[in-house]
Structure 1
Amino acid sequence: MDENNQTRKSGAVAAQAALQEIEERRLREIRRRKRRIRLAIASVVLLVLGTISTVVTLSIQTQLDFSRKADRSPDVQIAGFDGTIIKNVQGHYSQDVSLITFPKRLQGVFIAASDPGFYHHFGASLGDVTRIFSGTDFPGSTITMKVARSFFQVPDSGTVRNLEELLVALWLEARFDKDTILRSYLERTYVGSGIFGITAASRILYGVPAHEMTLHQAAVLAAAMNDPVNFNPLHFPTASAHAANIVLQEMATLKMIEPEQISALSRTVPQLAPRIREDGYSQYVIDLVMDEVARRVGYTSKDLRVVTSIDTRLQSMAEDAVSEVSRLRLKPRGADQAALLSISPDGRVRAMVGGTQYDPMSRNRAWNVRHYPGRMIKILPYYYALNENPDPAQWVPDTRKEVEGWKPVNPDRQYRGQVSLRDAFARDVNTVPVELTHKFGLDNMRDFAENIGIESPLSDDIRTVVGLDAVTLPDIARLHVLSLNGGISPDVTLINAIRSTGEGQPLLYQRVVREQEKMLTDEAMLAVNSMLAGVTDPQVRLDRPFVGFGALAGRGSDAWFAGFTADLYTVVWVGNDDKSRAPAIRPDVEVASLWRLFMLDASQGFSIRSVARGTSQRLVEQDGVTDMWKRNWIDPNPPLQNAQ
């Protein structure tokens, strides 16, 4: 009995062991199967990642330009809208910066200004990575990230480009030593005024080789590399010098220089000795082209061809008109400066004169200098009102009452109680634009101005609608040309296209019209043209329908005249750089004479059309890319044909 029990127990144990072995075998098979599946998945993932990495790498590589031209700076051929050569310019690009001859103390200036931790990171900071995924434009703060950005053939922004720049920065750190990366930074970084890198900048701005710069001169360039717009030493010398002084203080903090050296090295203005060739008034066009090329293309070693929208015939007329009227009528009456900007209704610049004489240390008064606008900007609330009710005869209050803490005063100090929009604009009253702004809301009006394209900041003071805040000529042009461009605010641009020279070279930039919201209704446009017809000074005459009016602003420091035909808008500013008054200058006389002299000549060859008819005809023809200028123009002075 016991023996049988023992046998049964032994059999049960054996069976259990067999079952356990079978179960373990099954589990091992499952684990092996799972491992094979995981291995297969991992292989697929690695294959996909490898493929993506290869595609991304190849994609990035096609966007990069590592070429260098050590023998000379690239040439830039600048042409008018029709291909007529304006000028061949040698670009201001640094070549072959050598850290062997460039002193360590000067190298330290740029490291202190841009990336004190340069020798201790692997290409990007934690802040860079955070900003990349937050969608910030141009987030790279390290020298390596900035160098990576400079290698892309066409500047861009956005999360995808930021990630690409991060990958290139990491690759640069893995492939090259820190000195090579620093050399590229000193060679390729934009300084402003179309200048790239320290060797070109030191030669052009200081007249000395880079290795002979003082610490403060190097600090000026280092500050400009961080902000080439606001710290451009030619245009903002005081701000530039102050920024350089801060760089020197940072060097002392990093123990690169002794603290007691700061006061001896600091300056209130940079030590400049500009070496820029002057080419008369058209140099303002050349300078702006070079600055725009730097913004659109960045550093390059390739020769470029830039097709602008400039009409060389109109440019010559504008230069002659500014020179003649300034010499005979403006300077004798106390106004030393004048600026002219002429655009076609689609926003392309056809002529531009930035001052009565070219000075490399003066900013372009026709482009980025702000002037008090006065009546030039008062049309803004009228636009808004006519969008709501397109009747220029509608009545509005004309009374002197306090609005948002300010009591407007009319220029003639007369108040009629009620007045039509048309009469209010013709009389240049202050009460009506303020009343309209109060009615519709100042915030709405400022948003409206921004949507139209006024880029200069407008304050939250209701007086901004009567000219409290200074604006640029392009701001005024975008505002006035609305009714000429189908109610859409155009991009005011100078460049049509940029490409590398040589057969088969890629197009680097092409002007394309952005889709924009219509800012004026069709009914409002008709009302605006009707209203403007009543303000045109009868003493100013052309041989065709036109609109034109003047303004005196800034307590007499800024005089304007602006107007348009069916084909051309032109705005003229007259005044002094120090904002001193020129009381003898009258907008409707001296300034109007400059506007009229130019417009009379510039309009020749265009068919005589009403403003409204020209607008509707043009909007049907334009495609947003092709420059349609002079499509219906007939040369009034054709070249003589040889007699047969």
Structure 2
Amino acid sequence: MVAASAATCLVVTFVILTWALKDVPWRQIADGSLKPIVVLENANGTPLVRQGPYQGPYISYEQFPDTLINAVLSIEDRRFMDHIGVDPQGIVRALFRNIQAGSVVQGGSTITQQLIKLQYLDSDRTLKRKIQELVIAFWLEGKLGKEEILTRYLNSAYLGAGATGMSAAARIYFDKDVEDLNLPETALLAGLLRAPSQWNPIVNREGARQRTEVVLDAMVDNGKITHLQAGAAKSAFAKVNPTRPTPRSGSWFADWVAPQASEVSGSSPGSTTVRTTLVPRLQEIAEKTIADTLEKSGEAASVSQAALVAMTPEGAVVAMVGGRDYKASQFNRAVTAMRQPGSTFKLFVFYAALKAGLTLSDRVLDAPLDIKGWSPENSGGRYRGWVTLAEAFARSLNAASVALAQEVGLDNVIAAARELGIDAELTNTPSLALGTSEVNLLDLTAAYASVRLGKAPVEPWGIIDFKAADQPEAFRVGQQSPQPVDLSPYQSDLVDLLRLVVEKRTGRGADPGVFAAGKTGTSQNNRDAWFIGFTEPLVVGVWVGNDDDTPMKGVTGGAIPARIWRDFMRQALRNPGPDTMSDDSIAGKDNSPRSCNVSACSRAYRSFRPSDCTYQPYSGERRICER
């Protein structure tokens, strides 16, 4: 009878366990599979904190300070190092204290159980989930060990203010690396684990202080610090100033570079730190210049939006503003918006003319034209007769530019634009010479960068290098581009044309007081206004207009866009400092390790792994991809 009862119990237990555990993700738990985390950094290596939830790099056990580990164990699971995943003694203690308080004031879950809830199971309080939690807790303890369980927990716990993981919380609350936290700071973070929204120090400083004192007292009771140390830490809390860092790094840039960063990181679990080209100082100048200009002049001129892109001549994007207010609109007018470039497109007409053998002193007729019923008009309605190519460009003469395009051939104008990197759809009609085919600001700015560099095309890029958490070596991102076209036979003439615009003609309002070259552009009925140009270290493009395509009040490229460009350049070139566009690490001249062309390698090898830039050949060990 006893044997039968025991057998029945075993069968029932087996059935219940089979039912409860059949959908447990054992492989995922065993492998420690983590969602890929991409951590973006500015060019100087500081975190590029994005809007919204933020998860920092995955931190190893050795990187967590002892005070943080002691604080977490003292307040969350004092017997963590002794129990086997479930702590009966802790459950009894919690039950007793809850009965005393008349409410739930303490939980009995271990850190192992909390990790399971965070990463592997849903939060339903059902019998099935409780059985799963208990069995997985026992199994995890034997499979992973204490240090790995605690490491995973500290990297995945939510700590308020959008921060997941201790490294993210250290950055958001204190703007520090987790290794640099002091005792009161670690006690504060440990206290957030139980109720991060309730004790968030940004919104409830007093509650955070009281909770921190509870943690410090628990550390004393646990023998991890002395009464004297706890008292000093409580007094030092007055110096703790948790404030979320302003996301000054430009969320439009982060949105633009994120897909590139994801490609670089691949699908490897864990974190990949991606150093971008963004220069915080230049980004801040760009945002403030646009905000101040639109605040001062926008309403009177019926201008609601503006965009700016700044890059090095090699194409490293160091600042990007995609509109007036990112919180109000995440639409990136620097990258996604397609607008008519107006006279900024004339660069390609005159480049085609130079390639056809004409010189800047050759003449073109600026006079009324009739091309199958269409007649281009000069601004102001005045025509100047025979003018040199230099004068026609500097004065932005529409009739002369259309006549020149007809002379050299529209096919050659389109080919010239393609050569300089414009890949938008270009319509083969006479009005093309006046910029009636739509382009985006980023590509147009890169085309002007090719003139400054003397090679084409310049491909805009935003990533300098990357490093996976489990790899000791960082890799510079190889920039893939077609065979460059040497512009040196025409560069001097093109630069002279663009300099003349700034020094004497339509671009005088953009003059920053140093060498500068650029071109104004205004589309029909003043719907778009542009200024694109460069100084020695920077190439910058500015667009202003309205999302609904309504006309502005007389705004031309030589007005608001030129002023934005000038004001940005003057500040950008003033005391540039060590983290600006002159930084060799942005230009690719530093001593970072070998280059890894992620795009080319991923296309060439199905087995390509970005984290270490290797692929698996048909035989032998993995090899470095050297494409």
TM-score, normalised relative to structure 2: 0.54
2: CA distance, partners of 1:305 / 1:503: 11
Paired residues for 1:200-599 under 5 Å? 279=247, 282-359=250-327, 362-389=330-357, 391-403=359-371, 406-504=374-472, 507=475, 510-512=477-479, 514=481, 516-518=483-485, 520-522=487-489, 524-536=490-502, 537-599=507-569
Change (3 A) 1:69 1:382: farther
Change (3 A) 1:81 1:408: same
Q: CA deviation at 1:364?
A: 0.7
Q: Is 2:39 the counterpart of 1:77?
A: yes
In structure 1, the residue matched to 2:233 is: none
Q: CA deviation at 1:601?
A: 0.8
Paired residue type of 1:305? T
Preserved CA contact (<8 Å) 1:425 1:531: yes
Paired residue type of 2:404? L
Paired residue type of 1:569? V
Change (3 A) 1:564 1:556: same
1: CA distance, partners of 2:533 / 2:275: 27
The structure whose RCO (Cα within 8 Å, separation 6+) is larger is: 2
Q: Match for 2:55 among 70, 90, 93?
A: 90
Paired residue type of 2:370? E
Change (3 A) 1:296 1:77: closer
Q: CA deviation at 1:348?
A: 0.7
1: CA distance, partners of 2:36 / 2:417: 40
Task: Give the 3-state SS of the residue equivalent to 1:352 in structure 2.
Answer: strand
2: CA distance, partners of 1:586 / 1:554: 10
1: CA distance, partners of 2:415 / 2:348: 11
Q: Which structure 2 segments of 5+ residues have no match? A: 1-27, 57-117, 125-244, 592-627
Paired residue type of 1:626? K
Change (3 A) 1:511 1:496: farther
Preserved CA contact (<8 Å) 2:510 2:565: no
Q: CA deviation at 1:502?
A: 3.9
Q: CA deviation at 1:483?
A: 2.4
Paired residue type of 1:90? Q
Q: CA deviation at 1:622?
A: 11
Task: Give the 3-state SS of the residue equivalent to 1:287 in structure 2.
Answer: helix
Q: Which structure 1 segments of 5+ residues have no match? A: 1-65, 102-276, 608-617, 629-644
Q: Match for 2:573 among 603, 617, 625?
A: 603
Change (3 A) 1:419 1:298: same
1: CA distance, partners of 2:458 / 2:291: 29
2: CA distance, partners of 1:627 / 1:98: 46
Paired residue type of 1:517? P
Identity of aligned residues (%): 26
Deviations 1:45-99 (A, max 9, x none): xxxxxxxxxxxxxxxxxxxxx99987864432211223232227439xxx99999
Q: CA deviation at 1:463?
A: 1.5
2: CA distance, partners of 1:96 / 1:285: 31
Task: Give the 3-state SS of the residue equivalent to 1:378 in structure 2.
Answer: helix
Change (3 A) 1:461 1:553: same
Change (3 A) 1:296 1:447: farther
Paired residues for 1:134-145 under 5 Å? none
RMSD: 3.6
Preserved CA contact (<8 Å) 2:366 2:385: yes
Paired residues for 1:46-65 under 5 Å? none
Q: CA deviation at 1:287?
A: 1.1
TM-score, normalised relative to structure 1: 0.52
Deviations 1:239-262 (A, max 9, x none): xxxxxxxxxxxxxxxxxxxxxxxx
Q: CA deviation at 1:486?
A: 1.6
Q: Which moved more, 1:489-498 or 1:369-378?
A: 489-498
Deviations 1:399-428 (A, max 9, x none): 322336633222232223311111111221
Q: CA deviation at 1:553?
A: 1.1
Task: Give the 3-state SS of the residue equivalent to 2:569 in structure 1.
Answer: helix
1: CA distance, partners of 2:392 / 2:278: 37
Task: Give the 3-state SS of the residue equivalent to 1:393 in structure 2.
Answer: coil
Change (3 A) 1:372 1:280: farther
Change (3 A) 1:541 1:466: closer
Which structure's CA Rg is the greater one?
1
Preserved CA contact (<8 Å) 1:434 1:465: yes
In structure 2, the residue matched to 1:127 is: none
Report the count of equivalent residues: 373
Paired residue type of 1:322? I
Change (3 A) 1:429 1:603: same
In structure 1, the residue matched to 2:22 is: none
Preserved CA contact (<8 Å) 2:362 2:389: yes
2: CA distance, partners of 1:353 / 1:624: 21
Deviations 1:267-322 (A, max 9, x none): xxxxxxxxxx9947711111112122234444443211111111111111111111
1: CA distance, partners of 2:562 / 2:499: 16
Change (3 A) 1:280 1:554: farther
Q: Which moved more, 1:581-590 or 1:458-467?
A: 581-590
Change (3 A) 1:314 1:397: same
1: CA distance, partners of 2:470 / 2:426: 46
Change (3 A) 1:506 1:318: closer
Task: Give the 3-state SS of the residue equivalent to 1:583 in structure 2.
Answer: coil
